Amino acid sequence: MARNFKVVIVTPDRTAYEGEAVSATIPGQAGYLGVWANHAPLVAAVSPGLVTLRTDDAGSEQKFAVGGGFVEISGNVVNLMTDTCEMAGEIDLGRAQKALERARERLSHVEAAMDRERARLAQSRALARLKAARKN
């Protein structure tokens, strides 16, 4: 029985990742989704956050910070479409930290709903980046 499944992460400018995984954790809009092989067909909105792929039974992990987007799961293939995707090694910690501070700062005094939403998204993106970079 197939215990692995295929994961493809695409962004508007490249195919960021393509490979096999044993399990995946994906930040769905309504909470983290745990995906194992033979998952039921699913389409879900993805929030900015941390994607974790377990690539073998020994527990090697690969982490990505992703922007918002969609995930489509069918026939043991996970297709993740997202605005941005960075592997742990590609993340600029200083920049993420600054972005986080900026977003927090804006959230503390900006009133307009639109701007708040934007700041909130920026904040979760920055948090995801920091998480992905630190846990390695």
Residues that bind other proteins (CB under 8 A): 8, 10-15, 28-30, 40-45, 69-70, 72, 74, 79, 81, 83
Burial class, 112, CB count within 10 angstroms (exposed 0-12 / middle 13-18 / buried 19+): exposed
Identity of the residue, 29 or 60, whose beta carbon is nearer to other proteins in the bound complex = 29
Identity of the residue, 12 or 89, whose beta carbon is nearer to other proteins in the bound complex = 12
Least separation in angstroms between CB 76 and other proteins: 13
Least separation in angstroms between CB 115 and other proteins: 15
Least separation in angstroms between CB 86 and other proteins: 14
Least separation in angstroms between CB 84 and other proteins: 9
Three-state DSSP string of 58-76: CCCEEEEEECCEEEEEECC
Identity of the residue, 13 or 57, whose beta carbon is nearer to other proteins in the bound complex = 13
Identity of the residue, 2 or 58, whose beta carbon is nearer to other proteins in the bound complex = 2
Residues with Cβ within 8 Å of 37's Cβ and at least 6 positions away in sequence, in order, are 1, 2, 3, 4, 5, 22, 76
Question: Looking up tokens 């972005």, which residue turns up?
Answer: 99
Kindly state the tokens that stand for 13.
């400018």
Identity of the residue, 15 or 136, whose beta carbon is nearer to other proteins in the bound complex = 15
Residues paired with residue 64 on neighbouring β-strands, in sequence order: 51, 87
Kindly state the tokens that stand for 114.
């639109």
